[in-house]
Structure 1
């Protein structure tokens, strides 16, 4: 019974050891490559040219798999450089790059797993080389983006053969020498004051033009009103003259005599005491006297 138990225990131990060996073998055989990375397989010093893309892979358990990131990397550097005039400046620059998945095997063979040191050294060198071809005003002013674009082109030419793709180069900040910075700030302040003065002068001119235009409008309005008033008076005078003319044309001697007779008849019928002296008939109007009693 004891021998049987010992045999069973031995078998159990063998099974456990075998299971552990099998598990280790499986773990060595099945490799998972996470998203955003690729794997390089090396077997006895020989590097496989085809990389292992993200996913589950069955590999030789004796092979070593090295993982490389293919995500976008961002290197930020402050570089001491010199402008075309020989003035010292500091540039805060960023390099955004990624490893080319199809060239991971070459990167591993030629550079290894620590590529950042090589990239930074080339990055710094090219920043100094490019800025030396530009004046300080160009780097600080209107050609800042041109400098960044040229840096991107030069870095692409330098890093692409190594297996890296340059996405962007950003010239974040240009730090000038203190004396140059003070001179630029003084110039900007003077320009701002000049612009403010020009603005105030322009405002004054506009106000003067507005006042003149307002005065001209008032004078023009008064002139128009005077002309309209004179025109109305002229029309009224002409209408009155025309009416009088027509009235005069209508008062013939016969009509006047008839009107005189009608008026005399009306007065004769009045109860008031009066004396009427008729005309001599030669278009002479009658004369009327009202006698008053003695006081």
Structure 2
């Protein structure tokens, strides 16, 4: 292979230098990410400009770009904290979090890339201790999980204010109490349920008793009204009507007029 002409060597070297320069000057930021620019000879971390968005970027080869995931992320955490009476309470918690996109440069400069371990987890742990420390174990067992989650979120949000990160939600997946405490609480809840059931039966029986009393009073009142309306004249008229109806029937009979104590006819005989 013949040697290259001396005039071509500088061109080859220049091409190689350009290739190296370009390869060190290009940054590709993927979906859901953003870049923080560090100017080695221009003041360090850039905080007064927007973060580098998704896509292809050209930067000076002596500068660096630190890539952050800016989508919502999650982490599962197991914690052991004390209740108000000093008993160990175990919690399984899921934290949804993300960095503050608009202040990503400040986050990198003042807090660093490991902001999850430095900021979010300590804040959530402290908030959990504060919230759980307000309750007794039996209160935690009966308390609505949503309200505990909300209290933990509010406490965490307050602690992380102006820290260039945000916690979107805290989910309490499980609350574990000491076995003896849990059994005692379950027994108490069972007794309360049985007491409520017994009270319900008593109330139902009392209502049925009241219904029967009202029904009996109604019948008695109706009988009183009926008795008051049945005068001698009405009874005699009813008797006459009944006598007329019997006399027209096909059954054989003997009718004695005026033989009753009150002058009503008597019906004697009859096949049926």
TM > 0.5: yes
* Residue 31 in structure 1 maps to residue 32 in structure 2: no
C-alpha change, 1:12 and 1:186, in structure 2 (3 Å) is: farther
Which protein has the bigger helix share? 1
Query: Structure 2 CA distance, aligned partners of 1:18 and 1:69?
Result: 37
C-alpha change, 1:57 and 1:186, in structure 2 (3 Å) is: same
Provide, for residues 164-219 of structure 1, a one-character-per-residue CA deviation record: whole Å limited to 9, x for no partner: 11222333432111111111111111111111111111221222222223323333
TM-score, reference length from structure 1: 0.63
Structure 2 unpaired stretches of 5+:
239-272
Matched position secondary structure for 2:170 = strand
CA apart distance, 1:27 = 5.1
Alpha carbons 1:126, 1:154 under 8 Å: kept? yes
Query: Structure 2 CA distance, aligned partners of 1:133 and 1:147?
Result: 10
Query: Structure 1 CA distance, aligned partners of 2:92 and 2:233?
Result: 83
* Residue 76 in structure 1 maps to residue 76 in structure 2: yes
Matched position secondary structure for 2:81 = strand
Whose radius of gyration is greater, 1 or 2? 1
TM-score, reference length from structure 2: 0.68
Structure 1 unpaired stretches of 5+:
238-295
CA RMSD of aligned residues (A): 3.8
Residue 246 of structure 1 corresponds to which residue in structure 2?
none
More divergent stretch after superposition (105-114 vs 222-231): 222-231
Matched position secondary structure for 1:106 = helix
Residue 107 of structure 2 corresponds to which residue in structure 1?
107
Provide, for residues 46-76 of structure 1, a one-character-per-residue CA deviation record: whole Å limited to 9, x for no partner: 2222421234433224432221111122222
Paired residues for 1:1-295 under 5 Å: 25-26=21-22, 28-44=24-40, 46-49=44-47, 50-118=50-118, 119-142=120-143, 147-230=148-231, 233=234
C-alpha change, 1:6 and 1:144, in structure 2 (3 Å) is: same
Query: Structure 2 CA distance, aligned partners of 1:70 and 1:60?
Result: 24
C-alpha change, 1:225 and 1:232, in structure 2 (3 Å) is: farther
More divergent stretch after superposition (50-59 vs 26-35): 26-35
Query: Structure 1 CA distance, aligned partners of 2:13 and 2:233?
Result: 128
Alpha carbons 2:137, 2:181 under 8 Å: kept? no
Query: Structure 2 CA distance, aligned partners of 1:54 and 1:144?
Result: 39
